[in-house]
Amino acid sequence: MDLVPLVVPEHSNLTPEQALLLYEERFGIESSYRELQRRMGQTSSHSPSYRVALFAASVIVFNIMMQYLEQVKRVSVDR
């Protein structure tokens, strides 16, 4: 793992720990947007409502899968 220096202006009142937390938060936001773009899927439709409907359906399916996996995990732990 490469170390990357944090860039904080000299006149900043941030401690190194606060700067690191801000960088981590920013990285999390950027990662969320990249993941959202990846999950939006590919379609040739120009209809925004159709694209939103596809996204909503994929979120619902994802949530159902996660609930199922959580139940399976819980059952296997209980045994």
Q: Does a structural domain hold residue 7?
A: no
Q: Does a structural domain hold residue 10?
A: no
Quote the Cα angle for 46-41-63, to 5°: 125
CA distance 29 to 10: 25
pLDDT score of 64:
93
6: its two tokens: 């944090």
pLDDT score of 46:
82
Q: How many domains does the chain have?
A: 1
Task: Please state the pTM of the whole predicted model.
Answer: 0.42
Mean pLDDT, each 10-residue run in order, the chain (79 residues): 70 81 85 75 79 87 90 71
Q: Does a structural domain hold residue 49?
A: yes
pLDDT score of 4:
65
Q: Does a structural domain hold residue 34?
A: yes
Q: Does a structural domain hold residue 8?
A: no
Range of the domain at 59: 16-78
Q: Does a structural domain hold residue 54?
A: yes
